[in-house]
Copies of this chain bind each other. A is one copy, B any other.
Amino acid sequence: MTDLDTLSVNTIRGLCMDAIQKAQSGHPGTPMGMAPVAYTLWQRFLRFDPADPIWPNRDRFVLSEGHASALLWSLLHLTGVRAVDPDYEVLGRPSVALDDLKSFRQLNSRCPGHPEYRWTSGVETTTGPLGQGVATSVGMAIAGQWLAARYNRDDFTLFDFDVYALAGDGCMMEGISSEAASLAGHLQLSNLCWIYDSNRISIEGYTDITFTEDVAARFLAYGWNVTVVADANDLDQISRAFHTFRAETERPTLVLVHSHIGYGSPVEDSPKAHGAPFGIEGVKATKRFLGMPPDAEFYIPDGIYDWFARGIGARGAELRSGWEKQFVDYRGLHPDCADELERIQRRELPEGWEQALPTFPPDPKGLASRDSSGQVLQAVAKAVPWVLGGSADLAPSTKTRLAFDGAGDFQPGERSGRNLHFGVREHAAAAVVNGMALTKLRPYWSGFLIFSDYAKGAIRLSALMEIPTVHIFTHDSIGVGEDGPTHQPVEQLAGLRATPGLLVFRPADANEVVETWRVVTALRREPAALVLSRQALPTFDRSRLGAASGVARGAYVLADAPSGEPQVILLATGSEVSLAMAAHEELTSEGIASRVVSMPCWELFDRQPREYRDQVLPPAVTARVAVEEASTLGWDRYVGDGGAIVGMHTFGASAPLKQLLNKFGFTPERLAQAARELVSQG
C-alpha cells in the first residue's frame, strides 16, 4: 500500500463527502467504508479502458448498493471515463466532469442520486432498488460465457470478461439476490464476483435486529466460493481476495468484506452514517482524521489523475488496443462472426431477418397465441443467432423453448446453449435477462402473466434503462380456467401499461403475433411485454379484414361496417377480439353498422398522429364498447363518455373457461346488447 494508494482512497472519500454535503442529500456511509475496496478493484484489477467505456470485453462493475452512487461518480471522474452518445459513439468529453460532481443530485447533472444506465457512461446498469444490481450481474456473466462460447476461437479470446457487483446488507436480504445467487451457483459462473459490504448496519439499526443468518454459509450452500476480507482498509488483503476470485474456475465468488460504514467520520459504525450528509463540521473532522486538508472542497491532490491513468488507464488501454488488433485478424478469418459481433454492438439485426417470419392461414379453430408466439420465436431465433432466453420453469406452458438443431441448453460445460432454465425465480429471471440485454444480446424470459407481479421490479428497470428486454407472459386472463383466481390476472395489464416506456402487446390472433414479433425484434431501446393466451384463438381470414400489420400502429380497423360509417365501435385486445367479431356479425345481421378495432398495443396507438387515431376512432362515433378480460382501468380514454366497458370488476374463479365467460359476461350476446343500447340511446 503506497502513499498514492492511501491518497487516492481518501481523495475518493473527500469527493463523496463534498458532493453529498453540497447537495445536502445522499448516502456517504458506504462510499467511506468501501472506497478502498472499490479503489483496489478499479486501479489494480478492472480490465476497463476509461477511453472506451463500451469496449465489448471490458470487465463489468455493478454498484448494486446504488445509493452509494457518489463512490461511482468519483471513480468515473478520477479515471477519466469518457462520455458515449446514444448511438454508441465515444465522445471527447468526460462522462463525469468535476462540475457534475459538484451538482450531484441536481437537475440534469450526470451525477444523479442513483446510477442511471444510458445517462452516465460507465454505469453498466441502473441500480438503487436493492438486489437488482447483483441479479443483473448474473445476466452479464451468463452473456460473457455465452459470447465466449460462440465467438472465441482457438487463437482468439475475444471474450473473457469478469463481472463484479458490490452489494450491501440490503441486497443480501432481498429475495431476488437469493434467487440469482442460487442460479449463479448452479450455473458455475466463475466469471462472477460479488463483493459483500458487510458493515452490520441497516437503516433501522444494527443488522442484528433482523439479519443474523450466516451469509457465508448460505453462499457455500449455493455452491459459491467464499473468501473473507477482515479489514476493508487493507488493500493487500483485498487484492488477495480478488486474486482468489480470478483463480477460481468452477464457482462464482463471494468476497465478504468486513467494513465500517461512514469510516473516519464522527458517525462511523452507526445507522446515522447511512443516508444523510455529515454536516460541514462532520466533513471537516473526517478529513482531518484522514489526513486531508479539512477546508479544501472537491480536493484532488496533484498526481492523482496521473496515478489512475498509469493504473487502470494504462492497463485498460493496452488490453483494449490488443483486443482491437486481434479483432482485425479475427474479421479476416471469421468474417461472419465478426459481422455478427459488430451488429450486436450496434443493436442491429442480420439482413433479411424478417423473411424468416411465418404467416398463418385462416383457421376458425386457430391456436393459442402462446403457441403461435412459440412458432414465431423459433423463426426469429433462427434468424437472429443472439436471440436467447428461457422461462421461470414454465417453458412447456409458455412455449418458449428453442427447439431447433443446435439451440441446446445453457449449462455448465454447455456455454453456447440458447435455452436457459431460470427455475421458479421470476424476479431474478427478469433481472438476469436485463443483464443479458445490457450486454447487447437479444434475450427474453417467460412466465404466466400473473407472475409478472413477482418480477415487476426488474420489468420496471428495463423500461427505465430503455433496453430491449422481451418479457413474455402467457395465461393472460380468466382464460386460465380451472387454476382459478390465484392464477388469473386482472390488474396486471393496467400496471404494465402504466409503466412509462414499456410496450405492452396483446395480439388477437396468430398473424398479430407475427406482427408483434416483427415490431418487438426490431426494438433497440424499448422493452416489450407480450401478453398471450392459454386458450386457442381463431386465425382471422384477412382477405376481408384489416391487415395484421396494423399492429405496428398499435390499433387498427379489423372489420368495418360496409358503409365505412359505423354507428358503434367495438374495441378489444387479444382473446376478446374474436368475441368482438362475433358481436359484429350479430349486429350486422340486425342492420346495425359496427366497426371492430383491434388494439394490441395502446402505447403505439397513442404515438400515432391525431389524423390516424381519428380515422380509427372517429370522434363522431361516440357509441363505443370496449371488452377486455381485465380491470377496466384506462379504457375510458378510448371509449369516452358515451361508451361502455365490459371488463373484470372482481377476481376470477376456478372453473372451465366456458363457464367463466358466462359468469363474467364475456359473450357476444352481452357485447352486442351493450352496443345496441348505446346505438339506441344515440
Contacts A116-B484, A129-B451, A456-B453: A654 and B105 contacting too (C-beta < 8 A)?
Answer: yes
**B222 contacts A220, C-beta separation under 8 Å:** no
Q: Which residue of B223, B424, B490 is within 8 Å of A173 (Cβ)?
A: B424
Instruction: Kindly state the separation between the CA atoms of A393 and B636 in the bound complex, as whole angstroms.
Output: 39
Q: Name the B residues within 8 Å of A495 (CB-CB).
A: 456, 491-492, 494-495, 498
**B107 contacts A663, C-beta separation under 8 Å:** yes
- Binary interface profile of A, 382-416, with partner B (CB < 8 Å = 1, else 0)? 00000000010111110000000000010100000
Q: Name the B residues within 8 Å of A205 (CB-CB).
A: 421
Instruction: Kindly state the separation between the CA atoms of A105 and B25 in the bound complex, as whole angstroms.
Output: 55
Instruction: Kindly state the separation between the CA atoms of A315 and B143 in the bound complex, as whole angstroms.
Output: 58
CB nearest neighbor in B for A463:
B651
Q: Taking the complex as formed, is A610 at the interface, i.e. its CB lies under 8 A from any CB of chain B?
A: no
**A482 contacts B23, C-beta separation under 8 Å:** yes
CB nearest neighbor in B for A638:
B636
Sorting the interface of chain A by its residue count into under 10, 10 to 19, 20 to 34 or 35 or more gives 35 or more
**B169 contacts A486, C-beta separation under 8 Å:** no
Q: Name the B residues within 8 Å of A210 (CB-CB).
A: 183, 186, 393, 421-423
Q: Name the B residues within 8 Å of A463 (CB-CB).
A: 651
Q: Taking the complex as formed, is A128 at the interface, i.e. its CB lies under 8 A from any CB of chain B?
A: yes
Copies in the complex: 2
CB nearest neighbor in B for A211:
B423
Q: Which residue of B423, B492, B634, B654 is within 8 Å of A112 (Cβ)?
A: B654
Q: Which residue of B176, B421, B636 is within 8 Å of A636 (Cβ)?
A: B636
**A424 contacts B500, C-beta separation under 8 Å:** no
- Residue numbers of A with Cβ under 8 A of B are 23, 25-26, 66-67, 105-109, 112-114, 116, 126-130, 169-171, 173-179, 182-183, 185-186, 202-205, 209-218, 220-223, 271, 391, 393-397, 409, 411, 421-428, 450-451, 453-454, 456-457, 460-461, 463-464, 481-487, 490-495, 497-501, 631, 633-634, 636-637, 640-641, 648-651, 653-656, 659-660, 663
Show 13 residue pairs from A and B whose CB-CB distance is below 8 angstroms, ordered by the A residue. Answer: A25-B656, A107-B663, A109-B654, A112-B485, A116-B654, A171-B424, A175-B176, A210-B421, A454-B456, A490-B500, A491-B495, A500-B631, A636-B636
Q: A204-B395, A497-B633 are in contact. List 16 more A-B contacts (CB 8 A).
A: A66-B486, A107-B656, A116-B486, A116-B654, A129-B451, A175-B428, A185-B213, A213-B222, A213-B223, A218-B222, A456-B456, A494-B633, A498-B633, A500-B631, A501-B650, A633-B634
